[in-house]
Chains A and B, each alone.
Chain A
Amino acid sequence: DARVTQTPRDKVTEMGQEVTMRCQPILGHNTVFWYRQTMMQGLELLAYFRNRAPLDDSGMPKDRFSAEMPDATLATLKIQPSEPRDSAVYFCASALGLAGWGEQFFGPGTRLTVL
């Protein structure tokens, strides 16, 4: 049963601390997305990769957020330093090929709380 996995599922941290979220896309999927869900903004696209290369990260606050794909089985999203306004659920999704024509498969999300 292929699925996207994310760790940790929940993270509580204090303002100023570094946060790292990890995602394992479905094996064989070559497109990986990071989204953030908040009550106010709904699902916002932060960044996405195709074949491990970043295609668009315009949705991310560049000064504190960074996204990488060290290899095809791992995507990371880092926040340093974290702020209370970063509190949200962060989703990773993967897709095969040009995802606009098909479905994206979402992980269960990481719920981040920054105190």
Chain B
Amino acid sequence: DQQVKQNSPSLSVQEGRISILNCDYTNSMFDYFLWYKKYPAEGPTFLISISSIKDKNEDGRFTVFLNKSAKHLSLHIVPSQPGDSAVYFCAATDYGGSQGNLIFGKGTKLSVKP
């Protein structure tokens, strides 16, 4: 039973437009969420995170939104650039219960076309 779901395996957007990557979770105990980006032949790298006490966190072109009632979060990239083409993983943790290990989704492959 997947606790973190990324239902779109792939997404294609035009350079300069907005990319929206979605993530749903089932465990209401999750209280911290992260996005990682992964290029081919490399390990994932941390991108941005959000605590459950917030509903938005912004870092440059990247914004993560959290809707706790819907158990949904999304990553917005504006404007999208060809260098953003990568696989994006959503991850979640229950800080108090899990001692910090992350549960990852299966990833969404983003392609940004020039």
Could you list which residues of chain A lie within 8 angstroms of chain B, going by C-beta atoms? 4, 31, 33, 35, 41-45, 48, 50, 55-56, 91, 93, 95, 98-101, 103-109
Contacts and interface: CB of A to CB of B under 8 A. Distances in A.
B102 A106 contact: no
A107 B98 CA distance: 22
B43 interface: yes
B95 A100 contact: yes
B95 A42 contact: no
Interface in B47-71: 49
17 contacts: A35-B104, A42-B107, A43-B107, A45-B102, A48-B101, A50-B99, A56-B99, A91-B43, A95-B100, A98-B99, A100-B94, A101-B95, A103-B34, A106-B45, A108-B42, A109-B41, A109-B42
A91 B44 contact: yes
B89 A100 contact: no
Given A42-B107, A43-B44, 11 more contacts: A35-B104, A48-B101, A93-B43, A98-B95, A98-B100, A99-B102, A100-B93, A100-B98, A101-B100, A106-B45, A108-B41
A104 B46 contact: yes
Nearest to A97: B100
B89 A4 contact: no
Instruction: Categorize the interface residue count of chain B.
Output: 20 to 34
B45 A100 contact: no
Nearest to A35: B104
10 smallest beta-carbon distances between A and B, as pairs: A106-B43, A42-B106, A100-B100, A103-B46, A100-B93, A43-B104, A98-B100, A99-B100, A100-B95, A106-B44
Contacts of B98: 100
A93 B45 CA distance: 10
Nearest to B98: A100
A21 B78 CA distance: 39
A101 B43 CA distance: 19
A96 to B, nearest CB: 11
